[in-house]
Amino acid sequence: MNQPITFAICGFGNRGRDAYAVYQKTHPDLMKIVAVADPVPQRLAAARQEYGVDPALCFDSAEALLARPRLADVMIIATQDRQHVPEALAALDLGYHLLLEKPISPELSDCMALLDKANTGAYGNPEITKANIGVGKNPGILVSGHDLKDFEELLEQTAGTGVDVYTHSEMLPAHYYPAFKKYPHFVGNYGNAWWRQREEFATFNGPILFTTNCIVPPRPNAAYADRIYTTGSAGLPGATHIPDRKEGRPKDFSQLIEHAKKCPPPTEIEHGEIVGGFAHHQVLALADKVVDAVKSGAIRKFVVMAGCDGRMRSREYYTDFASALPEDTVILTAGCAKYRYNKLPLGDIGGIPRVLDAGQCNDSYSLVRIALALKEAFGLGSVNDLPIVYNIAWYEQKAVIVLLSLLSLGIKNIHVGPTLPAFLSPNVLKVLADKFGLGTISTVEEDMKNLIYENNDGKHVPEGIGDAVRG
C-alpha cells in the first residue's frame, strides 16, 4: 500500500488511545489517526500532541464528529458500551468501515440491528425475488455460508470468465440483495440445507466455497473432496484455504476459478423458482396490504418458523406442520429451517406469499421488526397481543442469539424443538417456562390445536383485531 489507512476514533481513553491508537507509533506506514472525539480535554490534547491530529478535527463528542462528512477510512468506536450501537449505525450511514470495541452492546437485538444495517448499507434492502433453482450450461462455483463480502468479491472476479456462481443453503438470501442482481453469471440456488451436502455436492460437479461454518466432512471416497475450498473462519483438513485479505485488497479466488473452468456444468436436481426477500424493509413497504388482510380476516395468524435445520428424522415435523397450516396463515421464516417448507405449494393470500423468507438466521432481526411494526399498526400495548405464534427450529449456537433476542423483547409463549438447547438445564427451563411461557413442540396435531386454533372460540382475542383472529 502507498498510503496508510486513515482512522477516526470515538473515545480516546483506555481502549481508544491505549489499545488502538498506539499501533500508529509502531506502524506509521499502516495507520494514521486523522480525527478524534472525546469529552475530556486532556485526551484531545494527547491526540494533538502525540499523534498530530489537526485541532480542527478534535471533537468533544462523538455526535459532533459524526455530524461531519466521512473524515477517514475507518472509525474505531471505543466509547461507553451503551453508546456503541447508535454511533456505529451513524458511522455506517456515513460510509465508514468499523472497528467496534466489545461488547458491541448490552442488548442482543442491538447487535442484530447493526448487522442488518451493515448488510443493507452495503448491498441494498432485500426485495421480493424469484430465485432460480435450476442450472445453466456453464461450469459453476457453489457458495455456502453467510459471508456476503466474500460472495461479492467472488462475483467480481468470476465476471467474464465463463464460470457461473450459485448459492447453497444459508447463502440463498444473497439473491434478494439489489447489489448482486447486476451479475448475469449469478445463476441460482443449488440444493437445500447444509446437511444434504454429501449428495448435492457430488452432482454439482464444480468447486464448493465455504465462507463460514456448517461443513459436513466428505466421506473418504467422495468424488467432490478435492473440490472443497474454505475461507475466513471456515476450515477442513485437506481442503484448500483461501487466505484472508491483505492490505485492503480483495481475497484472491483465482485458484478456485481456474479449478471451476476445468469442471463440467452442474447436474440439474430440480427446476423452478422459490420466492424470498421479505426482510423488514420489504414487508413494511407492504404494510397496508398486510394490515388490511388481517383486518378482513384473510390472514388469521402469522407463524414464526425461523431457525436451523438438521438431518434428524424428527425435523420432518416442520414440513408436516407447515403443510397442515390452514390457508389463512402466513409463515415468517429465516435461517435454513425454511428448506423444510419453502418449496411446498402453499400458495398466497391476496398476492401475499404464505412463506415470507426474511433471509439468513442472522436476519431474524427482520422478524422482530415486522412484529413490532404490526403492534404499532394495530395500536396494541404488547407484541404478545398480535396474532403471531412462534415455533422455532432449534439446532446450534447462533440460535441462542435469536432466542435470547426474542426473550429480551418480552416475547412470550415461544415453542422450540425438536430438541432443547443444551444450555437449558431443568432449572433454567423452569424459569423460562414460568416467566416467558417457553415450551417445546409435541405432535403436529397437538401444536396445531394449541398454537393455531386456540382463539377460534373468540376468547383471549386482542381488542381491535378480534374479527381477524377469529376468522
pLDDT in tens, 200-256: 999 999 999 999 978 999 998 999 999 999 999 999 999 999 999 987 799 999 999
Query: In angstroms, rounded to a whole number, what is the distance separating the alpha carbons of residues 350 and 181?
Result: 27
Residue 399 pLDDT > 70: no
The tens digit of pLDDT for each residue in 419-428 reads: 877 777 888 8
pLDDT band at 460 (very low <50, low <70, confident <90, very high): very low
Residue 384 pLDDT > 60: yes
Q: Stretch 75-80: mean pLDDT, rounded?
A: 96
Query: In angstroms, rounded to a whole number, what is the distance separating the alpha carbons of residues 258 and 141?
Result: 11
Residue 118 pLDDT > 50: yes
Of the two residues 352 and 408, the one the predictor is more confident about is 352
Sequence-ordered list of residues with C-beta below 8 angstroms from that of 411, at least 6 positions apart, any chain: 371, 383, 384, 390, 436
The tens digit of pLDDT for each residue in 141-183 reads: 999 999 999 999 999 999 999 999 999 999 999 999 999 999 9
Joined together, the cell numbers standing for residue 124 give 441494498
Query: In angstroms, rounded to a whole number, what is the distance separating the alpha carbons of residues 311 and 270?
Result: 20
What pLDDT shows up at residue 240?
97
Give the percent of the chain with pLDDT over 90: 76
Query: In angstroms, rounded to a whole number, what is the distance separating the alpha carbons of residues 11 and 38?
Result: 5
In angstroms, how far is CA 263 from the centroid of its own chain?
31
Sequence-ordered list of residues with C-beta below 8 angstroms from that of 311, at least 6 positions apart, any chain: 195, 196
Joined together, the cell numbers standing for residue 48 give 494533538
Residue among 252, 356, 350 at smallest CA distance from 303: 356
Of the two residues 13 and 470, the one the predictor is more confident about is 13
Contacts 24+ apart (CB under 8 A), 436-444: 436/407, 436/411, 436/412, 437/412, 437/413, 438/407, 438/413, 438/414, 439/413, 439/414, 439/415, 440/415, 440/416, 441/317, 441/391, 441/415, 441/416, 441/417, 444/317, 444/320, 444/321, 444/324
Query: In angstroms, rounded to a whole number, what is the distance separating the alpha carbons of residues 51 and 21?
Result: 8
Residue among 224, 234, 125 at smallest CA distance from 170: 234
CB atoms within 10 A of CB 71: 18
What pLDDT shows up at residue 26?
94
DSSP 324: H
pLDDT band at 401 (very low <50, low <70, confident <90, very high): low
Average pLDDT, the chain: 91
The tens digit of pLDDT for each residue in 3-23 reads: 899 999 999 998 999 999 999
Residue 459 pLDDT > 50: no
Query: In angstroms, rounded to a whole number, what is the distance separating the alpha carbons of residues 167 and 169?
Result: 7
Residue 295 pLDDT > 60: yes
What pLDDT shows up at residue 42?
97
CB contact at 8 A, 106 and 81 = yes
CB contact at 8 A, 423 and 400 = yes
What pLDDT shows up at residue 456?
46
What pLDDT shows up at residue 407?
83
Query: In angstroms, rounded to a whole number, what is the distance separating the alpha carbons of residues 260 and 263?
Result: 5
